[in-house]
Amino acid sequence: MRHRKEQFIYVGVDLHKRTHTAVVINCWNERLEVIEFENKPSAFPAVVNKVKKHVQEGMTVVFGLEDVGGYGRSLAVYLVENHFLVKEVNAALSNWKRKSYAMTEKHDSWDAENIAKLLLDELDRLPNAHPQDDYWILKQLVMRRYSLRDTLVMLKNQLHTQLSYNYPSYSKFFCEVDGQTALAVWHEYPSPYLLEGVTVEVLAEFLRKNSRNVCSTKKATLILESVQADGNTKRNGQEYRDFLVRSHVNQIRDVQREMNDVEDNIRHIMQKLGFKLNTFTGIDDVTASAIMAEIGDISRFTSADKLAKYAGLTPSQMSSGGRGKDRNQRQGNRALNKILWGLAVRQVHTARTSSKPLNPIFRDYYEKRLCEGKKKKQAIICIMRRLVTILYSMLKNKTEYRLDALPERAAS
């Protein structure tokens, strides 16, 4: 009777932007063929035909890809749609495999062969690839929003610098320089000398028009008084500094419009997926999309424990000779771990307008852990682990979150 692994042909693929390299091996670690091909759908059928030449009756082909969401996505989609078994191979595993030899090499065919060898060794432990358009698009939209957010922060900092030259006291009348009304003022009056001769009534009317009647005479008076108190800030080449302010304002407005469009598309995708994460305390549409972008299809995880391990929330045993202890690991998906940390911290915070906790259940749990002798960081990690269990259930069943009342004993 043949061993189960003899029933497979193993194909490791080293992925690149323009070309891929595939290496075919059998269960005896024998290299059967090296295939180089372009990264385009029209080239994939020829690769499959070359692999099939090595398949005997009763055998199955299994492909291993490191990156099924980037350069390897097109190939992964093609293989899955054509009913091939495709495994995701963590890049850290293939790197470890390559470095485990006495003589370290690094080239495409050798990388692909190491991926194939990992398929052979870890076939049952490697996760199946499930490239799905909705989750992939959501990930791209979230990454796009991150990029726009970083750009907006950079532009705001640059605008702060320019305003500090022209309006030394600008923070007294606009605490947020990128607000709709503030941007209108900077664009119309990039320097205080342009306000010379402008009356309180004229400026108040301008503010009302651009703030939807929120700002008026009081704000106009404050602006003019602050400008008067600052003194003359006009210098040689002032027209160029005015241009810089208006240029920053125009770009900030463009980025804000792009962010609004991206967030609208994110909300549309989230509604299509049908999850209700935004019903949980502290989770808005942006946070919910970030969580889903990192988790992907929840069916990849058979339990909340598996999701917790993916998020780096399970301890690792570090021992030798019977001595040692479990330690918190710094592995797993660090982006998801960071999101869960921020979410856990929000659960124990109190509302700004009152002393009531945002989530009484988790606040009570947090204080209980502290009374048991745990440090604040350890208590937050405990909350993160409980959050994973709740989020897993919400995603698995597409249910809402309902905040239960505290028991009488806990409430007292």
Q: What is the spatial order of strands in the sheet that 8-14 belongs to?
A: 31-38, 19-25, 8-14, 60-65, 85-88
Max mean pLDDT among 32-36, 215-219, 359-363, 376-380 falls in: 32-36
Q: Is 317 exposed, middle or buried (0-12, 13-18, 19+ CB in 10 A)?
A: exposed
How far is C-alpha 109 from the geometric centre of its chain's CA atoms?
32
Which pLDDT score is estimated for 410? 46
pLDDT at 216 over 70: yes
pLDDT at 412 over 50: no
- List the structure tokens of 171: 């923070």
Q: Look up tokens 């945002």; give the residue.
A: 358
* Cα–Cα separations (whole angstroms), residue 140 to 90, 130, 260, 292: 20, 16, 15, 12
- List the structure tokens of 100: 């485990």
Give me the mean pLDDT over the 350-356 stretch. Answer: 77
Which pLDDT score is estimated for 363? 92
Dihedral of CA 261/293/130/28: which sign? positive
* Cα–Cα separations (whole angstroms), residue 320 to 64, 94, 314, 324: 33, 26, 19, 6
Structurally, at CATH architecture level, domain 4-131 sits in 2-Layer Sandwich (3.30)
Give me the mean pLDDT over the 15-28 stretch. Answer: 95
Give me the mean pLDDT over the 348-353 stretch. Answer: 81
Give me the mean pLDDT over the 328-354 stretch. Answer: 87
295 vs 320, higher pLDDT: 295
3-state secondary structure the chain: CCCHHHHEEEEEEECCCCEEEEEEECCCCCEEEEEEEECCHHHHHHHHHHHHCCCCCCCEEEEEECCCCCCCHHHHHHHHHCCCEEEECCHHHHHHHHHCCCCCCCCHHHHHHHHHHHHHHCCCCCCECCCCHHHHHHHHHHHHHHHHHHHHHHHHHHHHHHHHHHCCCHHHHCCCCCCHHHHHHHHHCCCHHHHCCCCHHHHHHHHHHHHCCCCCHHHHHHHHHHHHHHCCCCCCCHHHHHHHHHHHHHHHHHHHHHHHHHHHHHHHHHHHHCCCHHHCCCCCHHHHHHHHHHHCCHHHCCCHHHHHHHCCCCEEEEEECCEEEEEECCCCCHHHHHHHHHHHHHHHCECCCCCCECCHHHHHHHHHHHHCCCCHHHHHHHHHHHHHHHHHHHHHHCCCCCCCCCCHHHHC
Residues of the chain with CATH 1.10.287.4070: 136-269
- List the structure tokens of 60: 């199955």
pLDDT at 196 over 50: yes
pLDDT at 409 over 60: no
Residues of the chain with CATH 3.30.420.40: 4-131
Where does the pLDDT of residue 240 fall: very low under 50, low under 70, confident under 90, or very high at 90 and above? very high
User: Within a 10 A sphere around the Cβ of 394, how many other Cβ atoms?
Assistant: 19
Contacts of 326 (CB under 8 A, 6+ apart): 315, 316, 317, 318
Which pLDDT score is estimated for 287? 94
Which pLDDT score is estimated for 181? 94
Closest CA to 271 of 260, 285, 282, 283: 285
Contacts of 44 (CB under 8 A, 6+ apart): 37, 74, 75, 78, 79
pLDDT at 321 over 80: no
The answer to whether 393 and 277 are in contact (CB under 8 A) is no
Which pLDDT score is estimated for 411? 45
Q: In this predicted model, what pLDDT tens digit does every residue of 249-307 receive, in sequence order?
A: 999 999 999 999 999 999 999 999 999 999 998 999 999 999 999 999 999 899 999 99
**Domain at 136-269, CATH from 3.60.15.10, 1.10.287.3610, 1.10.287.4070, 2.120.10.30:** 1.10.287.4070
pLDDT at 328 over 70: no
Dihedral of CA 75/81/83/88: which sign? positive
Question: What is the pTM assigned to this prediction?
Answer: 0.84
Where does the pLDDT of residue 406 fall: very low under 50, low under 70, confident under 90, or very high at 90 and above? low
pLDDT at 148 over 90: yes
Give me the mean pLDDT over the 92-120 stretch. Answer: 91
Which pLDDT score is estimated for 405? 59
Give the mean pLDDT of the chain. 91
State the Cα angle at 253 between 137 and 208, rounded to 5°: 130
Burial per residue of 11-23, b for 16 or more beta-carbon CB atoms within 10 angstroms, e otherwise: bbbbbeeeebbbb
Which pLDDT score is estimated for 1? 63
Strands 60-65 vs 8-14: parallel, antiparallel or unpaired: parallel
